[in-house]
Structures are given as C-alpha cells and as structure tokens.
C-alpha cells in the first residue's frame, strides 16, 4: 500500500527554560542554562544538589482543584498539549474526534506520587491512608489518558516507555499509525517530572549525574573534556502529527514533515551505551532509509549528547560511521547543555528544537564547552557556545535510553 505522509501542524512545550515554545526557544538560541539549586526539597543530603526544574509553575493556576488528581508529569503533559492543540487551530467543534489519537512517552511516570504515598503510609498505623488517586496518578499511561479525556479524542491512546527514548518512540509509533490510515491526527510527545528525592538519589547513586554543585549552570557539558554526568531536567513537549492531505484540506499551518523514523536496540548493557555506538549508528541509518534519504541530505543533528563520558563518545563514533565525510559539514548540537536531560520527554522537546531550527534558520548551541576532549573528533561542528545561522532543510534528532533503546526521527521542510 502507498503510505500517507505525516506533517507537524502544532507544537507546545513547558521546560526549564519557559512555560511555552517561544520562551523555551528563546532560551535555547541565547544559550541560557536552566540549571540551579533544587528548590522543592532539601537536596543537601545528596551528592548532587541541583537540577533543571520547571520554574514558577503553579498547577492550580492551570487546573484548579483537578491539579490534585494529577502527578506533575501529567500536568506538564496537559500544559504542552494545550499549547499544541491551540497552535494547530483544529476546529474541535466540527472535527471527527474519533480519528484523533494520543500517544505519549514517559520513562518513569509518577515517581513523586509513588514516593509521597509510600512515605506517608510507612510505620505502624493499622489503617493505611492511601490516596484514592494514588494509582491513576502514578501510572505512566495516565498522561495520554488525561489529554484524550480533556478533548474527547477517541482514537488510538496509549503510553510508550523506553527510558529516555520514550517520547521519540511515541512520535515514531504515531507516524506509523497515520501512514497506514489508522488515524488522521495524533497528539504525540512526552513528559517527565522525576526531580524528587528518589529520582535524584537513584540517578546519583548510579554515578550518572554531574556533581558540579559549585557551578550548576556549567554542569551540563556535552563533549567537553571535563564532563562528569548529566543534569536532571523535567517538563513536557507535544507535537500535533497530521496526515498531509488532511492538513492541506483544512488549511493548517504546516511546520515540517516527519520524513522518517526508526528504532533499534543496543542489546548490550542495562545502562551503558555500546562503546562503538553500534545501535545508535543502526537507528540513524534506518531512519535515513525510512525517509528515502542519503546522509548528505541532513543539515543538522540534535544529538542525544547527555554529557556522560561514554555516551558522548559512542554517539560521535556512530555519527562518523553513518555520515562519513559529510559529518564534517553538519551542524551538531546538544540542547541538553541548557535544558538538562528531560528523560522520557527529551525526544519530543528536541524534535521541537529541530522544527524551530528549520523554521528560523538558527542552530541552537551546545553551551559550556571549555576544553576539547582528545577522545572526540573535534573537527566536527558541535555549535559550541553560540548559536549559528544556517539554512536547515532537514534535521535528525537522536534519543537513546537505559536498556539500550535507540530512536531517531528525521524532520524535513516542505
């Protein structure tokens, strides 16, 4: 069968840099770090005391009393989806909502809810007092559930869980469903809110986090010689994915086309990436094949680039393997240097960064580069420290997660 084309007709975000796409994008192009000491709990007991929190967020302002029914990861999901739906200008009163789905990624889900309920019910109290909203607040599929209930979207609805690749997996899955005609529109993206005592403690004990407590804003240093781990982030990002002819017929503003997407597994280690980037290279090559493109067609790669020693090296090796000499003509950047690592939400937010790069001709930088790493080919253009202007017709976004989950998506200007 002939596959349908898929385009993006709306975007939304809430991030450590702002409560919408415009604020987030302005922070990215201006090289603003969202990292700061943690404000929500006393983090001084931990080796890492900072993160990239969403700032000045009052859920009651958005949801009123319903905020108590939602874990923060769901709140972030709905805020991002609200902006994207509004941006898409869908005629919600006269559209077939049974043909609109919601596929959403979260790597962890309601960890704060779980922690608070368990903490409040330990001890010798003979009558446990668990909140009746405990389970629905905690489970990772509740974000797409809430979005569908809010708008009455009756199409395919579920969550994808692939650690830090979760929201790119959601986008890839949504694209496939639209291609084969199982939905006209899918609201897709991801959200995460794991900046909590167990979240911080767990990642810290793995030695995955930066310990640069004396200077949080420079802690996320992708590809820098002195990088010492990633910085936790949080938030949500949403894309309205729509069948191309359907979007044209209703006169929608089209940001770009999702030209290709692919998934792969390292099949190597539960947390470490393959040292030669084999799974990463296979997923990029597969995304190019899916898009019917050659390596020379890509202008910009928004890399996973977490600021971990092994991860950054493996991804660079994978890029060189797939792109060869063209790798030196690419712009490459890691926006995690500014937003921190949004875990399950990171792929959707970075897809939006690619969309804005296509729209504006601006490549967001990789900030906090101070010294070249001799283990990395620094002839590559990592867009260090300052945004660069460039015509971007096609961008590729990588996300890789614990468990060896890899996903790539290719976005193309029409």
Task: Tell me the backbone φ, ψ of residue 22, rounded to 5 degrees.
Answer: -60, -50
Which residue's entry shows tokens 């389970």?
135
Query: Considering only CA atoms, which of 286, 188, 178, 276 is closest in space to residue 236?
Result: 188
Select from 355, 340, 369, 392 the least CA-distant residue to 33.
Answer: 340
**Alpha-carbon span 14 to 361, nearest angstrom:** 22
> Would you state the torsion angle of the CA atoms of residues 261, 264, 270, 276, taken in this order, to the nearest 10 degrees?
-100
Catalytic residue among 19, 52, 164, 256: 164
Q: Which entry of 19, 246, 274, 304 is annotated as an active-site residue?
A: 304
- Which is the catalytic residue, given 341, 354, 369, 405? 341
Q: Does 19 qualify as catalytic in the annotation? A: no
SS3 content of the chain, % helix, strand, coil (to 5): 40, 20, 40
What single-letter DSSP state applies at residue 94? S
Residue 341: active-site member:
yes
Q: Within a 10 A sphere around the Cβ of 183, how many other Cβ atoms?
A: 23
164 counts as catalytic: yes
CB atoms within 10 A of CB 64: 9
Q: Which residues does 71 contact at the CB level (< 8 Å), separation at least 6?
A: 109, 110, 112, 113, 137, 138, 142, 193
* N-term to C-term CA, the chain: 23
Structure tokens at 42: 């006393």
The DSSP string of 111-139 is HHHHHHHHHHT-SS-SS----TTHHHHHS
Q: Return the closest-CA partner of residue 297 out of 177, 219, 412.
A: 412
Question: How far is residue 33's CA from residue 16's CA, in Å, rounded to a whole number?
Answer: 8
Residues annotated as part of the active site: 164, 304, 341
């Amino acid at each position: 069968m002939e596959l349908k084309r898929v385009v993006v007709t709306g975007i939304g975000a809430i991030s450590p840099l702002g409560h919408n796409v415009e604020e987030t994008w302005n922070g990215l192009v201006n090289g603003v770090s969202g990292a700061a000491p943690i404000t929500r709990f006393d983090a001084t007991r931990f080796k890492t005391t900072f993160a990239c929190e969403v700032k000045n967020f009052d859920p009651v302002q958005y949801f009123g009393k319903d905020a108590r029914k939602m874990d923060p990861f769901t709140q972030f999901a709905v805020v991002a989806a609200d902006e994207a739906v509004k941006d898409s200008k869908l005629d919600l009163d006269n559209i077939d909502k049974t043909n609109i789905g919601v596929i959403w990624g979260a790597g962890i889900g309601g960890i704060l809810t779980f922690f608070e309920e368990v903490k409040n019910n330990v001890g010798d109290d003979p009558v446990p007092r668990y909140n009746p909203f405990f389970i629905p607040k905690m489970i990772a599929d509740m974000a797409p559930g809430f979005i569908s209930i809010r708008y009455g979207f009756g199409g395919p609805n579920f969550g994808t869980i692939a650690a830090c690749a979760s929201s790119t997996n959601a986008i890839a899955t949504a694209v496939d469903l639209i291609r084969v005609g199982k939905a006209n529109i899918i609201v897709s993206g991801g959200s995460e809110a794991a900046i909590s005592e167990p979240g911080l403690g767990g990642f810290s004990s793995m030695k995955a986090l930066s310990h640069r407590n004396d200077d949080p804003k420079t802690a996320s240093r992708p590809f820098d010689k002195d990088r010492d781990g990633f910085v936790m982030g949080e938030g949500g990002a949403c894309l309205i994915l729509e069948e191309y002819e359907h979007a044209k017929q209703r006169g929608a503003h089209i940001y770009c086309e999702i030209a290709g997407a692919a998934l792969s597994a390292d099949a190597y280690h539960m947390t470490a990436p393959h040292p030669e980037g084999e799974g990463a290279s296979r997923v990029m090559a597969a995304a190019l094949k899916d898009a019917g493109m050659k390596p020379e067609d890509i202008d910009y790669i928004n890399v996973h680039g977490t600021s971990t020693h092994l991860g950054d090296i493996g991804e660079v090796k994978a890029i060189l393997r797939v792109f060869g000499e063209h790798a030196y003509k690419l712009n490459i950047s890691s926006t995690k240097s500014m937003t921190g690592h949004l875990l399950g939400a990171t792929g959707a937010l970075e897809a939006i960064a690619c969309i804005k790069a296509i729209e504006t001709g601006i490549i967001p930088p990789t900030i906090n580069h101070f010294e070249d790493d001799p283990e990395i080919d620094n002839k590559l253009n990592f867009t260090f420290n300052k945004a660069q202007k460039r015509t971007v017709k096609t961008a590729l976004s990588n996300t890789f997660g614990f468990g060896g989950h890899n996903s790539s998506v290719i976005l193309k200007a029409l």
